[in-house]
C-alpha cells in the first residue's frame, strides 16, 4: 500500500508539472461602459438671435452728443468646424473657426415740418477664430468657455430731406475685436452633439470719413448648435468606467430652488411726438444681472419632463443719451432694473443626467426713466417708474453635478408691451439675457421612471 501511494503521488506530481499553463483571458468591458471620448474633429451648424449695441460720440462747434447706446435685435445662422483634445478624463481643450450671418438692426429717425432724417445700422457677415476649454460634468456633458478673435461687417445707411433736397449715403465697414462666452454641450447619439452657447463681442471704434462721428459696436448673441464629431488624433482611452461618476438612474421629479447670474442687453424702442415733430430711436443698454428661482418638474417618461418655474431678477441694463451745447446739458436714461416671470418648461433627456429644455410664459419688467437738464444755472430733474407686461421664451441645458445639485445655462428673449410713459413719449422694451444657474432639486437620486417600472 505504501508503495502504491508513493507511485500515485509521483504520477500526480508529474501530471501537474507537465500540464500546459493556460493564460487567464481578461474580461473585455464593452466601450459603452465608458464615457464618450471627445477628442477629434467636428463640423456643425447653429442658429439663434441676439442684439447690437452701438456707442456713438460726436461733437461739432460747442456741442457734443453721446449715446450709450443705439440698439437693435435680429437673428443669426452660422457654420463652424473645429477640433478638441481630451487631455484628462474630465477636461478638454480645443480650437474652432466659424462664419456667421446676422441681421441685427438698429435705427433712428426724426421728422419736423419740411425736414426729416433716418439712419439705419445692420450687421451682415461675421467670422471668428476661437479657442475653448471645458470640464465634463458627466462623460456626455461638457461645460466650457470659448473666446478669441472676431470680425464683423456692418452696413450704415441714411437719408435726409430738407426743403425739397434729398441726400443719402450707404457704407460698409469691417470692424475687428474679441469675443468670449460660456457654453454647454451634450452628446446625443453616435458622433452627434447639441450645444447652447452665448457670446459677447466687443469691436473697435470706427470714424466715418470726413466726420467726427465715432461708433463703437458690440453684440450679444445666443446660438443653438448641432455638431458631428469624426474622431481622429489617436483618441486616448481611459480606464475609469462612466458609471463611476455618471448618475444613470436619476429621477428629475421634484421641487427645486436656485440662484443664477449672467448678463444681457435691453433693446428699447423710444418714440416721441410733439406738435408736428416726431422721433423714433432704438436704444440699447447692456449690463449684468442676478436672479433667484424656484420650480417643480415631473418626469413622466424616461426621456420626457414637464415643469413650471418662477424667477425674480435684478439687472443693470441701462442706456443713456447726453447732449451738451451752449453752456447747457441734458441727459436721459432708461434702466430696466427688475424683472419677474412665471413659465412652463418641457424637456428631453438624451442621457439620464442631462436635460435639454425650452421654457416660456409671462414676464414683467420695471423700467426707471430719468431725465436731467441744466441751462443757465437752472436745473431740472424728472424720474418715473413704469411696469411693462409681456412674454418670454428661450432654450436651456441642465445637468446633474452631484446628488440633488444641478447646473444650468439658459438664454431668454423677452418682449414687452408698448406703453405711453409721458404725454407724447412711448416705450417698448425687450431683453436678451443669458444666465448660468445652480439649483438644488429635492427628488434627484430617486429611481427614474424606467428603473421604477423594472
Q: Would you say residue 36 lies in a domain?
A: no
Number of domains comprising the chain: 1
pLDDT at 236: 53
- Alpha-carbon separation of residue 85 from 94, 109, 182, 231, 376 (angstroms): 6, 51, 18, 10, 66
Ramachandran angles phi, psi of 352, nearest 5°: -60, -25
In a domain? residue 257: yes
pTM of the model: 0.83
- Evaluate if residue 19 carries a pLDDT over 50: no
pLDDT tens per residue across span 217-254: 999 999 999 999 987 665 555 444 444 434 446 789 99
Domain assignment present for 96:
yes
Residue burial 317-344, b: 16+ Cβ < 10 Å; e: rest:
bbbbbbebeeeeeeebbbbbbbbebebe
- Establish if 28 belongs to a structural domain: no
Separation CA 362–CA 376 (nearest Å):
47
Distances (CA, A) of 177 to 82, 121, 268, 345: 20, 18, 25, 36
297-328 pLDDT tens trace:
999 999 999 999 999 999 988 888 777 766 67
d(CA 168, CA 186): 49
| 3-state SS class at 10 | helix
Q: State what percent of residues in the chain have pLDDT above 90.
A: 48
Beta strands in 15-90 (DSSP E): 40-60, 63-88
| Residue 19 covered by a domain | no
Give the three-state DSSP class for 17.
Answer: helix
End-to-end CA distance of the chain: 62
Residue 23 lies in a domain: no
Residue at 14 is within a domain:
no
Read off the pLDDT of residues 412-421 as tens digits, 9 standing for 90 and up.
999 999 988 7
Q: Which residues pair with 115 in a beta bridge?
A: 112, 162
* Residue located via cell numbers 464593452: 30
Residue 246: per-residue pLDDT: 44
| Average pLDDT estimate for 41-57 | 92
358: containing domain: 43-237+245-452
Amino acid at each position: 500500500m505504501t508503495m502504491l501511494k508513493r507511485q500515485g503521488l509521483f504520477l500526480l506530481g508529474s501530471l501537474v508539472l507537465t500540464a500546459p499553463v493556460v493564460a487567464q483571458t481578461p474580461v473585455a468591458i464593452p466601450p459603452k461602459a465608458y464615457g464618450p471620448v471627445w477628442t477629434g474633429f467636428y463640423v456643425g451648424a447653429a442658429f439663434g438671435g441676439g442684439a447690437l449695441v452701438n456707442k456713438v460720440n460726436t461733437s461739432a462747434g460747442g456741442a457734443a452728443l453721446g449715446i450709450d447706446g443705439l440698439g437693435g435685435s435680429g437673428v443669426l445662422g452660422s457654420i463652424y468646424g473645429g477640433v478638441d483634445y481630451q487631455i484628462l478624463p474630465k477636461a478638454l481643450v480645443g480650437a474652432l473657426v466659424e462664419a456667421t450671418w446676422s441681421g441685427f438692426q438698429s435705427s433712428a429717425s426724426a421728422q419736423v415740418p419740411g425736414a426729416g432724417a433716418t439712419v439705419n445700422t445692420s450687421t451682415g457677415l461675421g467670422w471668428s477664430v476661437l479657442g475653448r476649454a471645458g470640464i465634463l460634468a458627466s462623460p456626455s456633458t461638457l461645460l466650457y468657455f470659448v473666446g478669441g478673435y472676431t470680425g464683423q461687417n456692418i452696413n450704415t445707411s441714411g437719408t435726409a430731406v430738407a426743403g425739397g433736397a434729398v441726400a443719402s449715403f450707404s457704407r460698409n465697414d469691417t470692424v475687428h475685436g474679441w469675443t468670449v462666452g460660456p457654453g454647454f454641450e451634450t452628446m446625443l447619439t453616435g458622433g452627434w452633439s447639441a450645444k447652447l452657447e452665448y457670446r459677447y463681442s466687443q469691436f473697435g471704434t470706427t470714424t466715418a470719413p470726413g466726420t467726427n462721428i465715432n461708433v463703437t459696436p458690440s453684440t450679444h448673441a445666443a446660438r443653438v448648435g448641432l455638431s458631428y464629431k469624426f474622431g481622429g488624433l489617436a483618441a486616448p482611452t481611459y480606464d475609469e468606467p462612466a458609471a463611476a461618476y455618471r448618475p444613470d438612474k436619476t429621477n428629475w421629479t421634484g421641487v427645486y430652488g436656485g440662484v443664477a447670474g449672467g448678463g444681457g442687453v435691453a433693446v428699447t424702442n423710444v418714440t416721441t411726438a410733439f406738435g408736428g415733430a416726431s422721433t423714433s430711436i432704438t436704444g440699447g443698454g447692456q449690463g449684468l444681472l442676478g436672479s433667484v428661482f424656484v420650480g417643480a418638474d415631473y418626469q413622466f417618461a424616461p426621456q420626457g419632463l414637464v415643469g413650471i418655474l418662477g424667477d425674480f431678477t435684478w439687472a443693470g441694463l441701462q442706456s443713456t443719451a447726453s447732449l451738451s451745447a451752449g453752456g447747457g446739458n441734458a441727459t436721459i436714461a432708461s434702466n430696466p432694473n427688475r424683472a419677474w416671470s412665471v413659465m412652463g418648461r418641457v424637456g428631453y433627456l438624451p442621457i439620464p443626467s442631462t436635460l435639454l429644455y425650452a421654457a416660456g410664459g409671462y414676464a414683467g419688467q420695471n423700467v426707471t426713466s430719468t431725465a436731467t437738464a441744466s441751462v443757465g444755472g437752472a436745473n431740472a430733474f424728472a424720474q418715473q417708474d413704469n411696469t411693462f407686461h409681456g412674454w418670454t421664451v428661450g432654450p436651456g441645458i441642465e445637468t446633474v453635478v452631484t446628488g440633488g445639485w444641478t447646473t444650468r445655462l439658459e438664454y431668454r428673449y423677452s418682449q414687452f408691451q408698448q406703453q405711453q410713459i409721458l404725454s407724447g413719449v412711448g416705450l417698448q422694451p425687450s431683453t436678451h439675457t443669458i444666465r448660468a444657474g445652480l439649483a438644488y432639486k429635492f427628488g434627484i437620486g430617486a429611481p427614474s421612471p424606467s428603473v421604477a417600472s423594472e
